[in-house]
Each structure stands twice: as C-alpha cells, then as structure tokens.
Amino acid sequence: MQRIVASSPVLQERDEFLNTCNLGAVDVLAVRLWLDRKVSIPRPSNACFGFDSSTGWTFFDLNALHDEYQDEQGTVVEADFYHANQLLPLNDEDIVRKVQSYLSTCIPGFAEASIVDRAVVRFPKAVTHFFPGSYQYLMHRNTSFPNVFMAGDWIVNQHGSWSQEKAYVTGLEAANNIIEFLDDGEVAEVIPVEPDEPHILELRRLNDTAKGFCDVLPFADFFL
C-alpha cells in the first residue's frame, strides 16, 4: 500500500492514503518441518512466548489442520514467528535447529524426531505492527473516490476479526460495496464473530470507564 501511494501523484493528494505511510510492519518467519514419526500435539494451534524477548510465535499441527497431511506417516508441523527481525538473517540450518529446540521445550517428543524435509520462508515487513496511536492512520472501506473500496487488515470495520480473517472479511464487505455501487451481483454473507466472553465484556466496560475519566482530566490529549 505504501509503495502504491509513493508512486501515485493522485493518491498523494489525499490524506487518507498518505496517512498509511505512518503505519508499520514486522518481519515474519515461517518454518515447516516434516518429521520421521508422529509426535502427539494436544492442540492444533499453540501460541508461545518467553523464548525471545521481542518475538512471539505459534506452531500448528498441520496433520490436524490440512487435509493433505492427514495421512502422512510422520508429523508435519509449522512454526510462524512474528517480529522475527533478528531471525531472518540466520541460515536455514541454524533456523531449523532453533525451531526444533523451541518445539522440544514445549513438547519433548519433538527432540526424539528426525527432520526428513523442511521449508523456511522469510517475509520481510509482512505483518502489520499495531502500536498505540496507529488506529488514527488506518483507512476506512469507503474512500473519497466513489468507486474505490478498501480491504485488508489496515481497514477499520466493526466486525471484530483480526489479521488474515479481517482481510478476508473486509474483502467480502468491499465486494458487497461494489455490488451495491454497480447494482449487480449477489451479496456475500459476512458471518459475525462469537460474542465476547463475560470477563472480556467486563474489561471493556472498565476500559471505557477509565477512558471517560481520563477525558475530563487536564491535558487529556496526552493520553492514548
């Protein structure tokens, strides 16, 4: 998006597009391993932290998630690292060694398995870096061009989805806008997310109360 704006004099005349230049992204590393045996992974998706101070990661049991791997003799696992800036320069061998060590810390069975194949893919600046104050620079689905509609995880909407799911949902919503604009086509159904759990609703209420209190304080503009 930023490259498009940088090369378009027309978009550079509109603040809604220029503001995206204030948004950032982080590096992502995806490592897929084929093992010589089955390793028992209790959950298909596993979020992890505490290994690197600046990097979060998730590993996935692809035998459980992907039809194409259901009948594999051994486990196929993928580990995705976010804000992986310090990992991208490493060579594939060092990365695979590190990933197997991390996986073994989570599930000891990974230490006993041998890697028969691997895929290491680096994605520089591939995932949005949401930071305090960045919301004001996000775009809306409708733009100042009557026939241009936006989709992606940089787009503000009320659905409640995030990241890849948000990109998909905003794509459906933008397509519906196009159908309405052209008065032709079949409107796509957007399935709502599940309602928030009670403790999340309570935290939202407390947050709204705190924000309301801050708004009446002197120098309220200094609070994010």
Question: What is the C-alpha separation between 117 and 215, in angstroms, rounded?
Answer: 56
Structure tokens at 69: 């791997």
Q: Do 80 and 121 contact (CB within 8 A), yes or no?
A: no
Taking the alpha carbons of 143, 172, 59, 47 in that order, is the dihedral positive or negative?
A: positive
pLDDT-based confidence at residue 220 (cuts at 50, 70, 90):
low
Residue the block writes with tokens 């200094």: 222
Q: Which residue in this structure is represented by tokens 């220029």?
A: 18
State the distance between the two ends of the chain, measured CA to CA, in whole angstroms: 26
- pLDDT one-digit tens code per residue, 66-105: 999 999 999 999 999 999 999 999 999 999 999 999 999 9
- Distance separating alpha carbons of residues 6 and 159, to the nearest angstrom: 30
Burial 104-142 (b: 16+ CB within 10 A, else e): eeebebbeebebeebebebbeeebbebeeeeeebbbebe
Structure tokens at 121: 């893919």
Rg (CA), the chain: 22
* pLDDT, position 216: 75
Task: Work out whether strand 45-52 and strand 115-129 pair parallel, antiparallel, or are unpaired.
Answer: unpaired
Task: Output the pLDDT for position 221.
Answer: 67
Provide the pLDDT confidence category of residue 9 given band limits of 50, 70 and 90. Answer: very high
pLDDT at 84: 94
**Higher local confidence (pLDDT), 16 or 49:** 16
| Residue 158 confidence class, pLDDT cut points 50, 70, 90 | confident
Give me the DSSP letters along 114-132.
Answer: PEEEEEEEEEEEEEEE--T
Q: What is the pLDDT of residue 30?
A: 97
Q: Cβ contacts of residue 221 below 8 Å, gap of 6+?
A: none
